[in-house]
Amino acid sequence: MSIVITGATGQLGRHVIEALLERNVPAGEIVATGRSVEKLAGLAGRGVQVKAMDYADASSVAAALKGARKLLLISGSEVGQRVEQHRTVIEAAKAEGVELLAYTSIANADSSGMKLAAEHRATEAILRESGVPFVLLRNGWYLENYTDQLPGTLAQGALAGSAGDGQVSGAARADYAHAAAAVLLAEGQAGTVYELGGDEAFSMADLAAEISSATGKTITYNDLPAQEYAGLLTGAGVPEPFAEILADSDLGIARGDLLVSSGDLRRLIGRPATSLAEAVRAAAAAV
Ligand SMILES: NC(=O)c1ccc[n+]([C@@H]2O[C@H](COP(=O)([O-])OP(=O)(O)OC[C@H]3O[C@@H](n4cnc5c(N)ncnc54)[C@H](OP(=O)(O)O)[C@@H]3O)[C@@H](O)[C@H]2O)c1
For 78-132, write each residue's pLDDT tens digit: 999 999 999 999 999 999 999 999 999 999 999 999 999 999 999 999 999 999 9
Residues 144-165 pLDDT 10s: 999 999 999 999 999 999 999 9
Q: Residue 132, exposed/middle/buried by CB under 10 A (0-12, 13-18, 19+)?
A: buried
62-90: average pLDDT: 98
Distances (CA, A) of 151 to 158, 215, 274, 286: 11, 11, 21, 10
**Cβ(81) to ligand 1 under 6 A?**
no
Model confidence at 237: pLDDT above 80 = yes
For the whole model, what pTM was predicted? 0.98
123 touches ligand 1 (CB under 6 Å): no
pLDDT in the model for residue 221:
98
Residue 1: which pLDDT band, with cuts at 50, 70 and 90? Answer: low
Q: How far apart are the CA of 219 and the centre of ligand 1, in A?
A: 30
In 33-72, which positions are buried (b, 16+ CB within 10 angstroms) versus exposed (e)?
A: bbeebeebeebeeeebbbbbbbbeeeebbbebbeebebbb
In this predicted model, what pLDDT tens digit does every residue of 194-217 receive, in sequence order? 999 999 999 999 999 999 999 999
- From 16, 55, 77, 124, give the residue whose CB has the most ligand 1 atoms within 8 Å, as the site to mutate: 77
Residue 176 in this model has a pLDDT that exceeds 80: yes
Over the chain, what is the mean pLDDT? 98
Q: How many angstroms does the Cα of residue 218 sit away from the middle of ligand 1?
A: 33
Residues in the chain: 287
| pLDDT 10s digits, 121-144 | 999 999 999 999 999 999 999 999
CA atoms lying within 13 Å on the CB side of residue 195: 15
Ligand 1 within 6 A of 144 CB? no
Give the per-residue pLDDT at 142.
98
The residue extents of the domains of the chain are 3-139+172-196
- The hierarchical CATH code for the domain 3-139+172-196 is 3.40.50.720
